[in-house]
Amino acid sequence: MAKIAIKEYVQGQTTLFPQSLDERIPENAPVRVVNYVVDRLDLTEVMSTYKGGGCSCYSPRMLLKVLFFAYMNNIYSCRKIEALMEWDVRYMWLSGDQHPDFRTVNRFRSEHLKETIDGLFSQVVVMLVEEGYVSLREQYVDGTKIESKSNKYRFVWRKSVEKSKAKLERKIKAVLAEIEKGIAGDNAADDDNATPMDSRRLKERIDELNRAKRAERSKEEKRMMKELEGKMLPKLQEYEEHLEVMGDRNSYSKTDHDATFQHMKEDAMGNGQLKPGYNLQIGTENQFVTNYALYPNPTDTLTLPSFLDHGKGLTGTHPEACTADAGYGSEANYDFLEANAITPYVKYNYFHKEQKKAFREDPFRQENLHYNEEGDYLVCPSGQHMRRVAERLATDPSGHRHTLTVYRAANCENCPLHARCFKGWGDREVEVNHNLRRHKARARELLTSEEGLLRRSRRPIEPEAVFGQMKYNKQYKRFRHTGKTKVHMDLGVFFIAFNLQKMIRRMLCNLGNALSRLYRSLLGTLWKLPCLSRQSLAAALLSR
């Protein structure tokens, strides 16, 4: 029986690792790509956030490499990153065998990347353009709501605050009127009902009452003055602070003032519970994230102009074409796209419904009424001309003003189609937004073209695929920071790591395809050789 050979095993040897950790990292390892990309980044803006003085600090380039690689591997905790730099060879190689603690990593994220992450993200996007992965000529836009880190049971609602504030103001005015009855010549309360009460004005009134020379105050007056100063004034200031923090929103979280309560798709209880969160908007191309931004409003309609402008600030240009779903199909958005020469592959409400036969063949719908542009009138199903009778201006929630033209039929009283045409008395009136009609006609033409059909088929596998990978593959379903600035920073680090991981996979896929083509080419060449030569060549290759 042959002797069994066992390699020497000594845990107490002086070195367990080679002299250089670089020898333990394969040439095609993803960590080398991260190292290469970060070495190309310009960190001047990041360095400007350091104050200088004191003890030496860790290299920001090293910390960026560690952060990006950790986020690529679904590791977002600073404590876990600290542990990995102690025993994982890849992190040890990236950090140069340095061991910053979790506080240092978190401080670097929170203080030095908070205002500079957009610059780093734009550099990575420009690098993707140079490598040919994206062109920035097109952008697929979509949004999703992600829950905030804040407490979902500590919230403030606008309606509740306004109702309580109005009730408190009435009570304050009643108390002031009672106190001032006993002060001769006091006429400060004459306009109480006309002027709204705020904390500044209440404080001035309290000071005036305290300066008023009274020989004696009754116990009731003293009690009311104490209540005004000790309870009502602080409560009024609290309500005003709530409204100031809320701004134009309808709610906010007490533990994250930037988070707004919204309906989330990930509702475990299935009862439509509102949770504090942010509306995340992203723009993608070839599933690379080229633009991202956070918004407090739960709908996507009001976000498109500012979102595309934010992307222009990152990359220096607007896309040539924008593809989005019907949530973005508003007149304000179409006007913005037209003004900036962006081709709008953007759906609108009823786009799919109007493709159906029942919709197209319904002559009574306003959309199907024939419009004579020269005569400026509509033709109803019975052949009557509906003349222009008025125009009115309207404003949508975004503040965009649009013109509605009112058309009225001449005589609907004896029309045989009256019962099917509309319900009500008198002659039928319709309001037409000609500008929106024009935008819809152009969008319909683009969306039903060959290029539009291609873009519509790609839209579900562009931003929606990124959201799927983000929430389920990367387990990024809930933010880990409070405040919009820090959340934006964390998203920037995440999307940079996401783009790097996507680039590495494309590189490996391209390499595999190249090797496959080379293999097929060699097989084809080998098959063309004579039989004897083919056998001898195959034997030679196998022997090697």
The mean pLDDT of the chain is 86
Ranges 150-154, 194-198, 479-483: which has the least confidence: 194-198
- Spatial contact of 328 and 141, defined as CB atoms under 8 Å apart: yes
Most confident of 264-268, 320-324, 397-401: 320-324
What pairing do the DSSP bridges indicate for beta strands 321-324 and 251-253?
unpaired
Q: Is the pLDDT of residue 286 over 70?
A: yes
pLDDT value at residue 25: 87
Q: What is the mean pLDDT of residues 52-76?
A: 91
What global pTM score does this model have?
A: 0.85
Q: Is the pLDDT of residue 20 over 70?
A: yes
Long-range pairs for 446-454: beta carbons < 8 A, 24 or more residues apart:
446/343, 446/344, 446/345, 447/345, 447/347, 447/351, 451/345, 452/345
Mean pLDDT for 366-377 is 88
Q: Which of 81, 491, 138, 456 is nearest to 311 (CA)?
A: 138
- pLDDT surpasses 90 at 466: yes
DSSP 3-state of 428: coil
Higher pLDDT, 269 or 438: 438
- pLDDT value at 187 more than 70: no
> With 60 as the cut, is the pLDDT of residue 188 above it?
no
Which of 104-113, 182-191, 207-216, 381-390 is least confident? Answer: 182-191
Per-residue pLDDT, 443: 94
CA–CA distances in Å: residue 69 to residues 80, 95, 190, 279: 13, 11, 69, 26
For 15, the token pair is: 């070195």
| Closest by Cα among 496, 507, 490 to 30 | 507
Per-residue pLDDT tens over the stretch 227-237: 888 899 999 99
Q: For residues 379 and 363, what is the distance between their CA atoms, to the nearest angstrom? A: 10
Which pLDDT belongs to residue 189?
45
Confidence of residue 374 (pLDDT cuts 50, 70, 90): confident
Cα–chain center distance at 402: 27
Please name every residue paired with 379 in a beta bridge, in sequence order, or none if there are none. 370, 385
* CA dist 497 → 35, 55, 72, 148 (Å): 12, 30, 5, 21
Query: Which of 115-129, 160-174, 270-284 is least confident?
Result: 270-284
Instruction: For residue 183, count other CB atoms closer than 10 A to its CB.
Output: 16
Q: By 3-state DSSP, what share of the chain in percent is helix, strand and coil, each rounded to 5? A: 50, 15, 35
Of 84-98, 169-183, 430-444, the range with the lowest mean pLDDT is 169-183
Highest mean pLDDT among 181-185, 245-249, 519-523: 245-249
Among 334, 274, 329, CA closest to 298: 274
Write down the residue that tokens 């009225």 correspond to: 408
Model confidence at 185, in pLDDT bands (50, 70, 90)?
A: very low
* Mean pLDDT across 51-65: 88
Grouping H, G, I as helix, E, B as strand and the rest as coil, residue 342 is: coil
Determine the pLDDT at residue 31: 93
Q: Which two tokens stand for residue 195?
A: 């002027």
Residues 428 and 389: their CA atoms lie apart, in Å, by 12
For a pLDDT cut of 70, what percent of the chain falls above it?
A: 86
DSSP 218: -
Mean pLDDT of 368-394: 89
pLDDT at position 456, please? 92
- Give one word for 443, left, alpha or beta, with left for phi > 0 and alpha for psi -120 to 50: alpha
* Interacting residues of 378 by C-beta distance below 8 A, sequence separation 6+: 369, 370, 371, 372, 385, 386, 407, 430, 432
Q: How confident is the model at residue 362 (pLDDT cuts 50, 70, 90)?
A: confident
Long-range contacts of 517-526 (CB under 8 A, 24+ apart): none
Residue 537 pLDDT > 70, yes or no?
no
pLDDT tens digits for 292-334? 999 998 889 999 999 999 999 999 999 999 999 999 999 999 9
72-80 mean pLDDT: 94
Q: Above 70 in pLDDT, residue 535?
A: no
* Predicted confidence band of residue 17 (pLDDT cuts 50, 70, 90): low
pLDDT at 64 over 90: yes
Q: Does pLDDT of 268 surpass 80?
A: no
* Percentage of the chain exceeding pLDDT 90: 52
Least confident among 42-46, 145-149, 191-195:
191-195
Least confident of 147-161, 198-212, 347-361, 463-477: 198-212
Is the pLDDT at 194 greater than 70, yes or no? no
* Residue 140 confidence (pLDDT): 96
**Cα–Cα nearest to 168, from 208, 228, 108, 212:** 228
Tokens standing for 310? Answer: 């934010």
**pLDDT tens digits, 422-445:** 887 788 888 899 999 999 999 999
- For the range 234-237, what are the long-range contacts, defined as Cβ-Cβ under 8 Å and sequence gap of 24 or more? 235/168, 236/165, 236/168, 236/169, 236/172, 236/197, 236/198, 236/199, 236/202, 237/199
Residues sharing a CB contact under 8 Å with residue 102, sequence separation 6 or more, in sequence order: 77, 78, 79, 81, 82
pLDDT at 384: 86
- In the numeric block, which tokens belong to residue 514? 């190249």
Integer Cα distance of 261 and 229 in angstroms: 33
Residue 256 pairs with which residues in a beta bridge?
A: 253
